[in-house]
Structure 1
């Protein structure tokens, strides 16, 4: 049985999706250090109080740029934009795509997030679908778009038969961590 948990927030940034995923990951590693977990999360980059970009962080600690407001190279002029951020698709793919390769000994995948920036990679969504088709448990995050319409492909993920949507807000973050952790532990023990 596949279980997908899609924490989503009522705003695109700042509700705590990544923090929640990292806390669940830490709890899983602490309770079962032998778990084979693959994936990545995205982390904000700040200069003082200002967010200037995002980086991709693999679960083994490798990191690289995802998007930035401060890069102004000749190459970056051709990069796609999300708002004021230039998205470094090549950097993202070099880190994230190997983490989404389905392996026989993988117990759990973590994908934070399936959002606009990540979906500029034409290889990313097919890799996410392969993870879904593998029947390996998945913890992933998706944004709730400001316009009320899902990003293309995200609705397909949210409507997957094994998916559980968790609406995250600042008042339910702690309870949501315990709920997702418990669900994943039960699922992993029953595999």
Structure 2
């Protein structure tokens, strides 16, 4: 996915900000730092006015080996998003229905954790205080097995392009992947719409990205 900026000098207020970059470069680490920065200045979700809500994806390791991914909501709930499949298939166990690479995706658990969060913001954005931030990490192949996830995310973005009550901060995959038609359409919307900023995370800028994103949401050109 082409990025609008690799942390260039221009800063304008954006409704939604997304991070992209190669796998393992630190996108989710940056998202978690953004959450920390925002939590220092915002009220918790449900406490009235401009809070922060959403989820991020975190890899799960055992003995330094990646064995899967978890989806973690900002209220502390954790569910397995995907588990690595055994090298030798077990004939007594059915192959997962949803597969990305060597991972079987736990679609039901993902939807049970994430969809209730997104549904709060679909067609109800006007009921949320100005400045509400919704974290969506990630809009990727695994998550895209959920058609409702893609639909809800698109509706939230489109209903908050102009004078947004809800600002989405998320991550998207880098260009070159083979994506479903629905995921491609959503990524194209994010890449092309002037209300969205897509920043490329690199080893050189990943320490500065979180403060940059917060500044973009605030329209602060001092960073």
Fold conserved (TM > 0.5)? Answer: yes
Question: Cα offset for 1:159?
Answer: 1.6
Give 5+ residue unaligned stretches, structure 1: none
**TM-score by structure 2 length?**
0.75
State which drifts further: 27-36 or 176-185. 27-36
Within 5 Å, give how 1:42-191 maps onto structure 2.
42-69=57-84, 77-101=95-119, 102=121, 103=124, 104-105=127-128, 107-135=132-160, 136-147=166-177, 152-153=184-185, 154-186=187-219
Give 5+ residue unaligned stretches, structure 2: 1-12, 45-49, 161-165
Report the counterpart of residue 33 of structure 1 in structure 2. 43
Question: Cα offset for 1:166?
Answer: 0.4
Preserved contact between residue 36 and residue 105 of structure 1 (Cα < 8 Å): no
**TM-score by structure 1 length?**
0.86
Preserved contact between residue 79 and residue 89 of structure 1 (Cα < 8 Å): no
* Structure with more helix by fraction: 1
